Amino acid sequence: RTGVDLLGETGGILRPANKWSLSSRISIPIGYEMTATAVQITAAMAAIANNGQYVKPHVLKEIRSPSKELIRKAEPELGARVCSPQTSKTLLDMMEQVVVHGTGKEAAVPGFRVGGKTGTTRKDKKSDSDERLYYASFIGVVPIESPRLVIYTWVDEPKNEKYGGTVAAPIFRMVAEHATRVLNIQPTQPINTGKASVVEDDDDEVIDNVVTDSLPSGPIVPREMGDGDVLMPNLVGKTMKEVVDELGRLKVECDIVGTGAVVQQQPEANISLPKGDHAVVILGERPQD
């Protein structure tokens, strides 16, 4: 149990190693033969993000009277150390690779390094049509180099798709994008680093030949705008509301990272944005004149 300040918390199930069967060695590492609540899973991930130090979770930060007098405040309560800081860093590095190269790519948040783990669990029961039913989940940390948030998303019996990476990871991304804005967590990474991408083939072998320059010789001819394309406006210096209003009129969907005024945008101003593409804007402190 986590010790969370809610009545009736049910303990998770994880049998000691001397009670494992031969099949347990296969089942337990992939999440079967054990149970845990969402709070317990989140608390465990938070301990890893906190250099291996467990901290008791709380539901409420504080309670105040109608006159705003403080009645009770949740203070940090340290528990046992669950792993060393080095082990914590190793785990976080591994989980970052899940988002960068693995099944959690849909959890990537523009402007931030993210780490996490996808989960796809088959349920015991079947649907009325005798099809297998599943849980899809994703838990992640952002920003991973200096953790501020642990977010757990879980979907019971998803339709059409069943995998955590395609069902729950996108929900994590949307929640993380909103939470970082509300909490004023500033982006730690540029939108586009300008580095060459490393392409992997179907056998997970790195392909050495990477395109670094695809421009033809001679003058650059701008691409003609197609049906439904829009010309990206200059958003630098604008507020989030102004961005939403302006792109809304153009019917352009946009990912917004950070708070304040726009300091960076993709695509840049006066670039044609193909129909269906997303724009990305980074908000920060308005530059001083």
Question: Where residue 275 falls among pLDDT bands split at 50, 70, 90?
Answer: low
- pLDDT computed for residue 131 by the predictor: 77
Residue 17, Cβ neighbours under 10 Å: how many?
9
Q: Is the pLDDT of residue 6 over 50?
A: yes
- pLDDT computed for residue 276 by the predictor: 60
Q: Give the integer Cα–Cα distance in Å for 10 and 206.
A: 45
Give 122 or 195, the one with higher predicted confidence. Answer: 122
- pLDDT computed for residue 197 by the predictor: 40
Share of the chain above pLDDT 90, in %: 39
Exposure b/e, 223-252, CB count within 10 A at least 16 = b: eeeeeeebebbebbebebeebeeebeeeeb
- pLDDT computed for residue 255 by the predictor: 77
Give 14 or 213, the one with higher predicted confidence. Answer: 14
Cα 40 to its chain centre, rounded Å, is 19
Decide: residue 186, CB within 10 A, 0-12 exposed, 13-18 middle, 19+ buried. middle
Complete domains list, the chain, with CATH: 1-83 (3.40.710.10), 84-188 (3.40.710.10), 230-284 (3.30.10.20)
Q: Is the pLDDT of residue 203 over 70?
A: no
Contact 128, 134 (CB under 8 A): no
- pLDDT computed for residue 195 by the predictor: 42
Give 260 or 54, the one with higher predicted confidence. Answer: 54
- pLDDT computed for residue 227 by the predictor: 59
Q: Is the pLDDT of residue 106 over 70?
A: yes
* pLDDT tens digits for range 19-29: 888 778 777 87
Q: Is the pLDDT of residue 258 over 90?
A: no
Alpha-carbon distance values, 236 to 14, 150, 256, 277, 280 (Å): 52, 31, 13, 19, 12
Average pLDDT in the 32-39 region?
87
* pLDDT tens digits for range 163-188: 999 999 999 999 999 999 999 999 98
Number of DSSP helices (H) and strands (E) in the chain, helices first: 5, 12
Q: Is the pLDDT of residue 213 over 70?
A: no
